Amino acid sequence: MASAVHKVLGIISELATKGETSLDELIDTVGITEQNAYRLLKDVNEYFEEFYGKPLIKSKRVDEAISWSLQEDILLTSRPNKLMSVYMASIFMTSFKGTDVDNCILDVREHIENQLTRKMPEIRNSDRKFHYRAFGRKYYEKYNDQLCAVLHGLIKQKKVEILYKSQNYGEKNYLIHPYTLFLHKETLYIIAYSETDIKKIITFGIDRIISAKTTDNNFKYPKDYSPDKYTDKSFGMFHGKQEIKVTLEFNESLYEYITSREWSPSQQFTNLNKGKFQMSVFVSDFFEIMRWTMQFGSDVKVIEPIELRNMIEKEAEKVLGLYKIVL
């Protein structure tokens, strides 16, 4: 079902962007057979004829050439819940404020608002009905050019040239295949294959991209790639080849807070005596789980591995040293 939906959206997106398009070009761009194209055309048009009284996509034949285009006079009627959905998306994505992404969201919102009567009570006070307070939110307005270039490469499956500044290696040029835009803790990353030097999939922070340029060269997704598979063994964004089991023991007071959330796809919980419980996860790097664990202070203890215990012990000694009174 998801695959069919993606193909339909691909067809509609191409027609909305290019206007009248040959069937051969659509088949090649979307990656479907002619038989599948006509089946999707039939399904989409039957839906629109039922709800809107006319088909969405027109098919035209001139000699042997067949082309498709969108009906220009279809007004997609909107309901208040559609506007509310877009409004909620806009407040949850405030990191994009001032970027082209934000402008697109606002355009969609305005389009839906224009189709609704202002007398509808459901849309009154929409700015007060929903609110989102992000903690540590990063804004991307000053990275708009870089973000747009990466997004264009991502959507069109084009390679992107970037100048990137990392903490360890300074400024460096990369030629990347942008696979997945990833939002983690209010920060945007692009998971991409790098053709430069390392020749593997790595993660780049959008805010560390100094400049970016979309090329005309296409790339293909590896058959075995998926963002879930890539991040499964990451406790956050740091990715490595290792698979290390970490077991933490928490006090009873944190039971609801810890067990009601997904921290890692591999997490497992075990109840112990006196209300205590353990959480086990598999990670590939200690950096993020160390800092996450330390925020709970004396309410958590590392059971394994010993390497993580030692790291936290050393870090705790450094923190304690900051508050020692020198006589």
Same fold, 141-231 and 244-323: no
Residue 202: in which H helix or E strand, if any?
A: strand 201-205
pLDDT score at 1: 40
Query: Which CATH fold would you assign to the domain 244-323?
Result: Alpha-Beta Plaits (3.30.70)
Q: How far is CA 297 from each of CA 302, 311, 325, rounded to the nearest angstrom?
A: 11, 14, 21
Q: Where are the domains of the chain?
A: 2-70, 80-129, 141-231, 244-323
Q: Where are the alpha helices (DSSP H) in 115-209?
A: 126-129, 144-156
CATH number of 141-231: 2.30.30
Residue 217: in which H helix or E strand, if any?
A: strand 209-218
Q: Which two tokens stand for residue 219?
A: 């790339």
| CB-neighbour burial class of residue 184 (10 A; exposed 0-12, middle 13-18, buried 19+) | middle
pLDDT score at 2: 40
Q: Does domain 2-70 have CATH number 3.40.190.290?
A: no
pLDDT score at 120: 59
In sequence order, the 6+-apart residues with CB closer than 8 A to the CB of 119 are none
> Per-block average pLDDT, block size 10, for the chain (327 residues)?
62 78 86 84 80 80 86 58 66 75 74 58 69 79 91 93 89 94 86 89 92 95 88 74 90 93 90 90 89 94 95 93 75
pLDDT score at 249: 96
pLDDT score at 80: 61
Q: How far is CA 254 from each of CA 85, 259, 272, 292, 312, rounded to the nearest angstrom?
A: 33, 8, 13, 14, 19
Q: pTM of the full predicted structure?
A: 0.66
Residue 264: in which H helix or E strand, if any?
A: none
pLDDT score at 4: 62
Q: Where are the alpha helices (DSSP H) in the chain?
A: 2-18, 23-30, 34-52, 80-92, 100-114, 126-129, 144-156, 227-231, 255-259, 287-294, 306-323
